[in-house]
Amino acid sequence: MAKDKKSEFLNQVSRRSHFEVVFDHLPGVSFFAKNRSFELVVANRAFWERLDCDSEADLVGKTDFELFPRRLAEKFRKDDEEVIHTGEPKLKIIELFFNRQGLPDWYFTNKFPVFGRDEKVIGVMGTVQSYTGRKSALTPHLELDRAVSFLRRHFREPIIMADLARLVGMSVRQFNRRFRETFGTNPTNFLIKTRIQAACEELRRSESTINDIALDYGFYDQSSFTQHFRKHVGMTPLQYRKRR
């Protein structure tokens, strides 16, 4: 009954209602939509301002490969393809950007399929929120901010999760549960993913050996680094370096 009422209402909505304008007034939230060709067709103000554009028109028709570094664009495309292929949303995707100081800034993305009137998927839409901008929405989990800030500064160093849990005044079990509720993954995977993304940057821009990179970014040895890298990136560090 509720679903019928919702459909009835939406079918009566005029284009003059400009539902999309609402997204321009959601603080800290970037909204976008792409067609099946992965071209941007909708972007709210937060999205186009983040890319230093003057208006939405500057983005419409462009793909991620025209707007972002190739490594990020490849990741975005892979997620988009999965959403379009399965018709299922992907939630709490953690995206990592590294600033000029080499520190990670985390962004949280939710992607949803867009269905046409024939019920076939015609594109993908989503929201992007930075961790900093999302803090106000994380209450009552703000105590995790100390842990995230510590990970951000020390992700290259050996980190014991029991010590991290103690830092925020929780048991390991409670810390893992709260962290997963907030970030959609456990703190160990969060740390490993951060290290892997940082290592990708290093593999692209430096001539350091793979073993040195493994040790510099907190892995026990090259074998452990390769195992985690293959799991998260789909290839070995050497294969990644050669492709780039």
Mean pLDDT of 82-102: 81
φ and ψ at residue 242, rounded to 5 degrees: -65, -35
Model confidence band, residue 235 (pLDDT cutoffs 50, 70, 90)? confident
Average pLDDT, the chain: 84
Start and end residues for every CATH 3.30.450.20 domain found in the chain:
2-134
CATH code of the domain made up of 2-134: 3.30.450.20
Beta strand residue intervals within 90-181, DSSP E: 90-98, 104-115, 121-130
Mean pLDDT of 9-20: 64
Give me the pLDDT at residue 236, please: 92
**Of 178-182, 221-225, 226-230, where does mean pLDDT reach its minimum?**
178-182
Mean pLDDT of 8-18: 65
Give me the pLDDT at residue 72, please: 79
**Angle (CA) 137 74 40, round 5°:** 70
Start and end residues for every CATH 1.10.10.60 domain found in the chain:
138-243
Q: Quick one: fold of 138-243?
A: Arc Repressor Mutant, subunit A (1.10.10)
Give me the pLDDT at residue 139, please: 45
Alpha-carbon distances, residue 33 vs 17, 91, 123, 127, 181 (angstroms): 18, 15, 7, 9, 26
pTM of the model: 0.67
Give me the pLDDT at residue 93, please: 84
